[in-house]
Structure 1
């Protein structure tokens, strides 16, 4: 079983290791080249296998892309749900939710960058019943993910921890500041766990300050 599966088993459900290996390679290929330029050949090259192994599980590049995106979103939801119970008040809980999401980003940057790329795929739409079903799951997860943060921001407003504001707009800006990490983050050589924790803390704190919260 891969390290990625052990860390985020809920995101992969009952997939076997062979399929997870393909998703890992596909995430890397899409991260490097984007959906349009990446090919099944690129995925096979990264995995060191024939295209036949990939086509055994996936009929098209789009099917593969949607599953990578779905797994990336499932990782986010799992981390945020787990983090919601941490902290003693809404602002602390919101901080831990942001930290949980950012930790997933820097630990699984390929999947997370594909999840951001997936916004473009929504514009073009899915073409097969399977893709439509997967896209529906992705959009439901995205709505749930945004809703978890929105409800916590509203709790913080009700507690007087952040100024009153339009939550529907604010939550998008808040999440944008977190998700932008997928664009600029690159793991440095010899980067320690403490370095990563500090980075995550600084970005999460910046996002909270953007809400008008008084944090250290």
Structure 2
């Protein structure tokens, strides 16, 4: 019988997976940090060259929700597995998204289908922090009551929708099936 790993071991493996993701992103030509040469904790202006370049921004809320969703989905399909293993699976999915999101194909799709006209992709720092925000969401969902996790996800979606006219739901919709009316609303038209 295989011995279960401790949570510490799962976290170490997860950290290594995130480091590999950073290496892949660097290999892809992504900037390690913002080309402005500084590192900011928070960037609140979506339509700026600083967006998706620093530690956190309005889209960090979406990554926390990713953690909620991954925890819930993996609880449904793999609840008999250790939470550390489920976390590693969530990191794999989030890391794969961060790599895919920073391909020319997806960057160009964001530019043509959404309001992100000047989007150039994420810095490696931002991508790593996005994964860490997902991890925070995953751990929160693993400890909090379901009703609270759902309430916070709704509040995050409504808050981001109100403040920046974008959120996880709109982001997915506009990437998959762009609607001119939503694009106009997001652009303030």
Q: Which has the higher contact order (CA 8 A, sep 6+)?
A: 2
TM-score range with shorter-chain normalisation? Answer: 0.3 to 0.5
Higher CA-based Rg: 1
TM-score of the aligned structures, taking structure 1 as reference length: 0.32
TM-score of the aligned structures, taking structure 2 as reference length: 0.35
